[in-house]
């Protein structure tokens, strides 16, 4: 079954864009109802210890206050840890808001004020008096790594380092060219534009919960388990999500608090967190890594050793795949990878755009640059000489790998052949100019997903799935896939997502949604065409009586033979004859377990960066970036490019700006606002060029697409760091690379 309308692959603008830019798109905290109550969360001012006394009397007397909740009067909820674990949970004891008086981290919620208005709740919260018994906080990973440990319960099989192969220590000792260095990454904080908020409404005898989440069905299951509610009476919606980057994979405490208060008071309740509170939620954990590489005099790797210690909370073992990338990115027969955790008095970290890879690949790619200078060859040539043609960690073939094309096309666009080898050899006025590059890799996979597609008698199409759109373009991509199958303009497709009652999908994360839900939509769409053909075959003297699915397509409202569009029947006539006004079919997709035993899939990238560093002031600026991406079939070049642009900007932030500053004497975050937590602004971003190389992959997903949300950031920080070395001759191994660190190098 072919179609030549060619909607997939074209750069359509987002179909929900007009709603967003005109303010008609309502986010989680923008829903209202008569009698709506507002909540405000009071947070701890110590990082470790316990509450000795909490006095809420003055807050309760404040005009407009309905109730104040603390650990002393919180309603009962589920006891078992299993009831509190969502689908994205990690090993350990999930955080339970207001469970007891113990303080686990700075900014922990210690009370909830519910009032008739937001201002009343906020002002009353300031009147709560709390006396703490503070313990000495332990928040410095550089100090606490000495107490690190291997997690007893892995978060997932893919995060467990593979066993050593070959003889890495002996090969390292015998090699003529070696580097071994420690790399430190400070913690970064998710800061999407939309604050975390939840609005709980009473509708149709149940609850309708508008929540900022990357998975409405995950939120629904969490709420039902924790509060013992009937899933049939709990609907969760997240029609629009103002960014998340992984922060919305797990339910946040405002969800629990809003539902708790609403059920207790039997009134609609809204709780929205402040920007300050966003810093106490998920974050990319601080990490210390040791990477040791050895090569022969031609630059061919002889040994790779990568060890990482990563921060987690006292109550959960958050884990990432940090070191495994070093065993598959380049060909090497002698490899040892190891990973440990350090318990700190902090909130549990969380997935933040390319979790693990953004951290581990940064260290690996910086070490590769160092090795290139140790060997004395071009950094790009070093990578080419160590090209891996299969995954040595798992002994599997790649479904596709167009990294060579990324190297070639990215270098050509950037002008890499004009780069001089020696550091401090390129200048422009008072600026030292540096060119650096790095490779990137991220897993490409699909998750189980379902979708429903309805073709109406007038040719209109409706696509339904519980998938989320966190700004990635899910609405548009799903619409394009259906529009192409049914031969209709994109404007004739209505896309319904972000609703827990719709066909089941996983959380929107891991760069899997387009490939997973998109494939499910394609399966459902083809099933609808198959049903339409079956109806057509049953018509008297049907010109399609002997046609197969492969022979037909839909064009201009008719089911026609692909070889001759003059032969066919109108959709209206087919449905009239069948006595139906629409055809609705369900599509389901799951990973191919048999195929996964032999093949594995990744997206790849090559990132080229130009920096200019003022020789006197040591202020670095990223002036040019070329990011070449091998991401399989590109469903929409416009939304795809936006994903890579966003990833590059976040990578620049990781390299030069973002750092959660903790006063380790108190364990408190000092820069919990957007004035002092630095992120790239418009003035920090100059020219970014995105190149999508040709890559066909018939195994990664039924629609041939690989994810793009994550790969855009992987390797960017390393490329910036390598460019700064090329410009200044100073190797900075502590991110972010700020002026003081350049001056002190």
- Domain end point (choices 590, 609, 642): 590
Residues 329 and 395 in one domain: yes
- Whether 5 is in a domain gets the answer no
| pLDDT band at 158; cut points 50, 70, 90 | confident
Q: Kindly write down the DSSP assignment for every residue of 430-459, as one continuous string.
A: TEEEEEEEEEEEEE-----EEEEEEEETTS
Dump pLDDT digits (tens) for 109-122. 999 999 999 999 99
On whether both 485 and 616 belong to a single domain, the answer is no
3-state secondary structure of 545: coil
Q: Name the DSSP letter for residue 563.
A: T
Are residues 115 and 150 both part of a single domain? no
Alpha helices, H only, 182-270: 216-227, 253-265
Distance CA 332, CA 330 (A): 6
Provide DSSP, 493-536.
EEEE-SBTTSSP---S-TT-HHHHHHHHHHHHHHHHHHHHHHHH
Same domain, 351 and 436: yes
Q: What is the pLDDT of residue 70?
A: 98
In this structure, are 532 and 617 located in the same domain? no
Which residue, of 568, 590, 612, is where some domain finishes?
590
Q: What is the mean pLDDT of the chain?
A: 97
**Could you give the percent of the chain with pLDDT greater than 90?**
98
Q: Would residue 2 count as lying in a domain?
A: no
pLDDT in the model for residue 366: 98
Provide the 3-class DSSP secondary structure of residue 710: coil
Q: What does the pLDDT look like over 559-582, one tens digit per residue? A: 999 999 999 999 999 999 999 999
Domain match, 647 and 695 both: yes
Q: What is the pLDDT of residue 571?
A: 97
pLDDT of residue 3: 45
Instruction: Summarize pLDDT for 598-640 with one digit per residue, the tens.
Output: 999 999 999 999 999 999 999 999 999 999 999 999 999 999 9
Identify the weakest region by mean pLDDT among 4-8, 316-320, 512-516, 735-739.
4-8
Domain count across the chain: 3
In a domain, 204, yes or no: yes
In a domain, 29, yes or no: no
Specify if 11 maps to a domain: no
Asked if 229 and 123 sit in the same domain, the reply is yes
What is the model's pLDDT at position 360? 98
8 assigned to some structural domain:
no
Assign 325 a pLDDT band (cuts: 50, 70, 90): very high
Q: Are residues 405 and 457 in the same domain?
A: no
In terms of domains, do 222 and 178 share one? Answer: no
For residue range 490-519, list pLDDT tens digits in order. 999 999 999 999 999 999 999 999 999 999
pTM attached to this predicted model: 0.96
* pLDDT, tens digit (0-9, with 9 covering 90-100), for 353-377: 999 999 999 999 999 999 999 999 9
Range of the domain at 52: 34-136+193-243+248-278
pLDDT for position 5: 56
Both 54 and 200 in one domain: the answer is yes
Active site residues: 710
Distances (CA, A) of 735 to 321, 397, 601, 731, 738: 19, 34, 29, 11, 8
Sorting pLDDT into bands at 50, 70 and 90, what band is 1?
very low
Closest to 351 measured CA to CA, from 310, 391, 309: 310
Minimal CA–CA distance to 179: which of 470, 373, 449?
373
CA 175 – CA 178 distance, rounded (Å): 7
CATH of the domain at 97: 3.90.1170.50
In this structure, what CATH number is given to the domain that contains residue 382?
3.30.365.10
Where residue 681 falls among pLDDT bands split at 50, 70, 90? very high
In a shared domain, residues 85 and 169: no
Distance, C-alpha 329 to centroid of its chain: 21
8 Å CB contact between 461 and 493: yes
DSSP conformation letters of 265-305: HTS-EEEE--HHHHTTS-EEPPEEEEEEEEE-TT--EEEEE
Q: Are residues 323 and 352 in the same domain?
A: yes
The stretch 318-347 carries a mean pLDDT of 98
Q: How many helices (H) and strands (E) does the chain have?
A: 19, 34
Residue 2's pLDDT band (cuts 50, 70, 90) = very low
pLDDT at 99 over 60: yes
Domain boundary among the residues 566, 590, 614 is at: 590
Whether residue 9 lies inside any domain: the answer is no
pLDDT for res 157: 87
In a domain, 661, yes or no: yes
């Amino acid at each position: 079954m072919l179609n030549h309308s060619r909607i997939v692959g074209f750069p359509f603008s987002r179909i929900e864009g007009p709603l967003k830019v005109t303010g008609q798109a309502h986010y989680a905290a923008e829903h209202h109802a008569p009698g709506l109550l507002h909540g405000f969360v009071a947070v701890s001012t110590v990082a470790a210890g316990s509450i000795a006394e909490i006095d809420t009397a003055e807050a309760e007397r404040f005009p407009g206050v309905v109730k104040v909740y603390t650990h002393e009067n919180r309603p009962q909820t589920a006891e078992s840890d299993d009831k509190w674990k969502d689908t994205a949970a990690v090993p350990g004891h999930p955080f339970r808001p207001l469970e007891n008086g113990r303080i686990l981290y700075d900014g922990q919620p210690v009370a909830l004020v519910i009032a008739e208005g937001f201002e009343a709740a906020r002002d009353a919260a300031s009147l709560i008096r709390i006396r703490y018994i503070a313990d000495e906080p332990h928040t410095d990973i550089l100090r606490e790594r000495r107490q690190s440990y291997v997690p007893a319960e892995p978060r997932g099989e893919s995060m467990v380092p593979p066993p050593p192969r070959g003889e890495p220590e002996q090969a390292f000792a015998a090699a003529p060219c070696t580097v071994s260095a420690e790399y430190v990454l400070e913690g970064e904080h998710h800061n999407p534009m939309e604050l975390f908020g939840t609005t709980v409404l009473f509708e149709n005898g149940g609850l309708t919960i508008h929540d900022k989440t990357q998975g409405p069905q995950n939120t629904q299951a969490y709420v039902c388990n924790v509060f013992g509610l009937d899933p049939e009476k709990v609907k969760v919606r997240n029609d629009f999500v103002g960014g998340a980057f992984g922060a919305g994979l797990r339910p946040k405490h405002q969800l629990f608090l809003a539902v708790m208060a609403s059920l207790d008071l039997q009134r609609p309740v809204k709780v929205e967190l402040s920007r300050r509170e966003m810093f106490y939620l998920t974050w990319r954990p601080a990490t210390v890594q040791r990477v040791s590489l050895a090569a022969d005099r031609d630059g061919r790797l002889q040994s790779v050793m990568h060890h990482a210690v990563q921060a987690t909370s006292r109550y959960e073992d958050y884990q990432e795949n940090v070191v495994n990338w070093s065993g598959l990115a380049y060909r090497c027969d002698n490899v040892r990878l190891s990973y440990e955790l350090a318990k700190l008095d902090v909130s549990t970290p969380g997935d933040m755009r390319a979790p693990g890879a953004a951290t581990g690949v940064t260290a690996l790619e910086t070490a590769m640059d160092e090795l290139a200078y140790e060997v004395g060859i071009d950094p790009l040539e070093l990578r080419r000489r160590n090209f891996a043609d299969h995954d040595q960690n798992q002994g599997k073939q790649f479904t596709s790998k167009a990294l060579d094309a990324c190297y070639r096309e990215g270098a050509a666009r950037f002008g890499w052949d004009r780069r001089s080898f020696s550091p401090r050899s390129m200048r422009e006025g008072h600026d030292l100019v540096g060119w650096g590059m790095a490779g990137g890799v991220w897993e490409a996979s699909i998750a189980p997903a379902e979708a429903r597609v309805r073709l109406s008698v007038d040719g209109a199409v409706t696509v339904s799935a519980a998938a989320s759109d966190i700004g990635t373009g899910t609405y548009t991509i799903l619409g394009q896939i259906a529009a192409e199958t049914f031969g209709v303009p994109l404007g004739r497709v209505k896309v319904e997502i972000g609703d827990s009652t719709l066909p089941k999908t996983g959380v929107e994360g891991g760069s899997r949604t387009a490939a997973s839900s998109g494939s499910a939509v394609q399966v459902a769409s083809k099933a609808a065409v198959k049903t339409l053909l079956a109806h057509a075959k049953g018509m008297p003297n049907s010109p399609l009586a002997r046609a197969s699915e492969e022979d037909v397509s839909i064009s201009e409202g008719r089911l026609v033979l692909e070889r001759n569009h003059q032969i066919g029947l109108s959709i209206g006539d087919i449905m009239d004859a069948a006595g139906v006004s629409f055809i609705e079919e369900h599509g389901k997709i799951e990973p191919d377990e048999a195929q996964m035993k032999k093949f594995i899939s990744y997206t790849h990238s090559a990132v080229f960066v130009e920096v200019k560093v003022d020789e006197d002031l040591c202020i670095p600026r990223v002036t040019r970036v070329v990011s070449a991406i091998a991401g399989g079939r590109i469903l929409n070049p416009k939304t795809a490019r936006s994903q890579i642009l966003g990833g590059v900007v976040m990578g620049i932030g990781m390299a030069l700006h973002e750092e959660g500053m903790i006063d380790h004497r108190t364990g408190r975050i000092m820069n919990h606002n957007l004035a002092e937590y630095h992120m790239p602004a418009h003035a920090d971003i100059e020219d970014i060029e995105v190149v999508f190389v040709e890559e066909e992959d018939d195994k990664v997903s039924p629609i041939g697409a690989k994810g793009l949300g994550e790969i855009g950031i992987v390797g960017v920080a390393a490329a910036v760091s390598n460019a700064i070395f090329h410009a200044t001759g100073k190797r900075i191994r502590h991110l972010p690379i700020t002026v003081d660190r350049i001056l002190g190098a």
